[in-house]
Structure 1
Amino acid sequence: MKIALFSDVHANLPAFEAFLADLESRRPDAVYCLGDLIGYNIWPNEVIHEIRKRGIATLAGNHDKKTKGYAYELVSADNRGYLNTLPAQIKLEFQLNSDQLNIVLAHGSTRSIDEYVLEDLDETYLLDMMTEANADILCVGHSHKPYSRIIISEDKVYRAINVGSIGKPKDGNPKGCYVLLTINQDSAATARDSVHVEFIRFEYDIEKAAHAIIDSPLPHELADRLRKAF
């Protein structure tokens, strides 16, 4: 089973459209969004429309809860109502060969929508969080910095994944980023390499997105951040 995971579109329609085109070429079995559909650009309603039209299961991001400021006031009343119903977490449970594999999806962390689960987060703290959430695999967004980290504890493999950002990367690579997670019949919480994680980077019209910012009341520095991915 191939699962596509993406996050942090941030109202960047050119990036989102390029992502959707790339996604369709890969034909995943399931698609989940880890939040932050809005903020930082001028197309929140267009992005939300596509999410709703396609029935993509979506988490609430911290920006999805904001209402003040130009980028947030662009959101229609109907779409605001939709954002206010989004869940904080999604849990996927797989029963494979008498072994259970639990995948938990969150925006920031399982403890807070605003918490950053960075690659160098203290191992004990991360394990405590994942054990508390009963997560063999924890997938998050929020930091816009993709990584896959493995921790082995008591013969069990824990994996934390940041899926990166579709519309506002911050890792020095301006290409959009998302993850394809492959689960097969041999996948297990006790096997290190039984779950395949692939980071997909894709091109999009960055200048179109940047000029939309420049032509709006948004801070012009956001356009430069898109170009340089910081």
Structure 2
Amino acid sequence: MKIAALSDIHGNLAALNAVLDDIQRQGADVIVNLGDIVSCPLYPAETADRLIPLGLPTIGGNHDRQLLAADPSRMEPSDRFAHDALHSEQLTWVQRLPISLRFEDDVLLVHGTPQDDQSYFLETVTESGCRVATHGEVRRRAGDIEATLILCGHTHLQRWMKLGDGRLIVNPGSVGLQAYGYARPFPHRMEMGSPRARYATVTRTQFDWEVEFRSVEYDWNDVANCAALNGRSDWETVLRTGYC
């Protein structure tokens, strides 16, 4: 079985279409979506319309939850933009997304960690910034989850780690946004360093799983222009460069 894992699309329809085209060329038995789907200053409604008919195994991320749970006047700008752009049927689709999903018997989909959609799984933030998490940290975050493969998103960074007990944790990176900055618990930046769209394939072999990280060209300058027109120079920079 070959799984194509998508995460953190963030309403970037052009990046999503490029990734779906690449998956079609590469081949996959199933495509899964790990959340943070429509929050953006880009194309939230169009992205929802592209995905809903596909019926992919899909979970919600923290931004999907936030654009439903809060008073719109108090939302973050990207969540507010998406909330205002989506019609009722699209919002209902987002509302019905589970926070985690068991796929097959031994594959688990989460957005952040099994416990929290806003926690980092494979990275740790300190006063010095963000670093790769230790095996011990990742093992504690995985807890007693029984799965040979755990797919996560949220940090927008392509990374995998295999624990001593054989469990494999894979973050496919972000389809639609290749960097962001965040202030908690300490100020830090997550940056892929190029604007290419990211995803991963994970293939079950006779004895284990094999991971391939993919990066895909698309017209990011056009999408960056859209962000600029919508008053988001921060997104414009990220979309053009992959840096904050």
TM-score (norm 2): 0.82
Distance in 1 (CA, whole Å) between partners of 2:229 and 2:178 is 21
Residue number in structure 2 paired with 1:203:
217
**Residue 173 of structure 1 aligns to which amino acid in structure 2?**
S
Distance in 2 (CA, whole Å) between partners of 1:75 and 1:32 is 22
Question: Contact 1:11–1:40 at 8 Å: present in 2 too?
Answer: yes
Instruction: State the shift of 1:121 in Å.
Output: 2.2
- Give the 5 Å matches for 1:150-161: 150-152=162-164, 156-161=165-170
Q: Which runs of 5+ in 1 are unaligned?
A: 95-101, 188-193
Residue number in structure 2 paired with 1:215:
229
The C-alpha deviation readout for 1:33-63, integer Å capped at 9, x for no partner, is: 0001112232111111111111111100111
Instruction: State the shift of 1:124 in Å.
Output: 2.4
Equivalent position to 1:78, from 89, 113, 135:
89
Equivalent position to 2:101, from 78, 85, 90:
90
Question: Contact 2:121–2:141 at 8 Å: present in 1 too?
Answer: no
Question: Contact 2:11–2:47 at 8 Å: present in 1 too?
Answer: yes
SS at match of 2:167: strand
Moved over 4 A (4+): none
Distance in 2 (CA, whole Å) between partners of 1:63 and 1:56 is 19
SS at match of 1:72: helix
Residue number in structure 2 paired with 1:165:
174
SS at match of 1:180: strand
The count of corresponding residues between Structure 1 and Structure 2 is: 212
Residue number in structure 2 paired with 1:19:
19
Question: Contact 2:175–2:197 at 8 Å: present in 1 too?
Answer: yes
Question: Contact 1:10–1:40 at 8 Å: present in 2 too?
Answer: yes
Residue number in structure 1 paired with 2:112:
108
Distance in 1 (CA, whole Å) between partners of 2:48 and 2:134 is 35
Instruction: State the shift of 1:214 in Å.
Output: 1.1
Question: Contact 2:201–2:212 at 8 Å: present in 1 too?
Answer: yes
- Give the 5 Å matches for 1:20-99: 20-67=20-67, 68=72, 69-94=80-105
**Residue 161 of structure 1 aligns to which amino acid in structure 2?**
V
Distance in 2 (CA, whole Å) between partners of 1:196 and 1:41 is 35
Matched, 1:145 2:157: yes
Distance in 2 (CA, whole Å) between partners of 1:75 and 1:114 is 23
Question: Contact 1:130–1:136 at 8 Å: present in 2 too?
Answer: no
Distance in 2 (CA, whole Å) between partners of 1:143 and 1:7 is 10
Question: Contact 2:159–2:171 at 8 Å: present in 1 too?
Answer: yes
Instruction: State the shift of 1:135 in Å.
Output: 2.8
**Residue 35 of structure 2 aligns to which amino acid in structure 1?**
G
SS at match of 2:163: strand
Residue number in structure 1 paired with 2:201:
180
Instruction: State the shift of 1:200 in Å.
Output: 0.8
Moved more, 196-205 or 35-44: 35-44
